[in-house]
A and B are shown apart, each in its own frame.
Chain A
């Protein structure tokens, strides 16, 4: 690429209209603008991460903000976005573990000599710009890179958390259809568009969303009868498998109680009615979160983390909510839940659940949990046993509210009962502590006024 060919007359402030051989001096700084891609620190205590795969190949054009690679940490697998626009010149760590701060790739300009640039830092580049004696030089270089990006007429791929069929080819879809697909985690490439020229329109996505059970396999073509379908593990799935296997090794025990939800349901009805237009309506889950957070403050031993060499008792109830997403399961955290009202909890819960489904959770949403609630009541599950979410000492499994016959002084009465099953790490806490905690949760649910 010759510089003089890409610089329109007049863009070079010092030499209006004439660009001498060698190009505008303003652009010379752009020649050495290579950005090293370094392994980021995504959360407190993160020392290293595992590169699962690169979403771009060497030589590909990348745009700032575009997903560049998938990174596995002990909490989450996420796509990491490019911080610079240019050509992915070199991938130095193709796969596997690397320490935070390691240079894992270089983004620069087409044809740039990477070997010479490796090791040169962005700071050095900034210094070069300073030497040129023009404060606008760096900005000009940015602009030049922008120009390059537009000039290359790059086809924008549709981002999908799970990658897949449609990647690489341009999929015709309306902006609305794209938004709905993004929100519901549906892969556009798997849909047949019914709009003009096969464009995927909102109706197509909605139809797919309505007809599809929430399983990652639905967007794949059905296997021919009789054949085994092999679903390659996504990195999320792999993380789930690894962490739950770890959890299974902890000596765990379970205790269960049923709570009479009559009063909680009345409270729920009242709160839902009072909820302001446009605000998320409180659910029974939010009341439960409130009850757990309040109970955790009274039973600090349950609000604990097993830290191998110690037991950490935490001052705040950071309550994780298990959320099923297309790719599997995530546990975003409502921080300091003990200080939130039920309406605030509802807003926080609506926010994290929505973002979880849109794959927009940030690392801080997943960090710092001290306790987890897993609710399968909406699926009609009466009771179940949850697997620990290490290093947390306890997790609460919540079943459906079901009308049950309950013995009363005068005979039998029908009451809405909900079964709570607490799984505990016996290394961190014992049965009596767990039982006292669960009894408090039950009391709070049966008489919400006690939470005050």
Chain B
């Protein structure tokens, strides 16, 4: 399974805000157990939605600016952007079926 690519404070604008496709960003940190459970599900979704939605992960330990801008105080947090606008936020670990439903709503 392909690793979800990293996005950083530096590349966020180009990769997420200026993306033609909707984007899901998985905010995580190495010390967060539930984040490690979310990662493989995000990878699976990345394959299922290839060509329709771009998927990135952002390490909140290494990238303080973007998490702070979006007021992230809990991880895992999945933020969904469409046309540079935040259209969905999923906080905490959720089952894959829930994530798909929320993703579908956010990219409509």
- A, B co-complexed: no
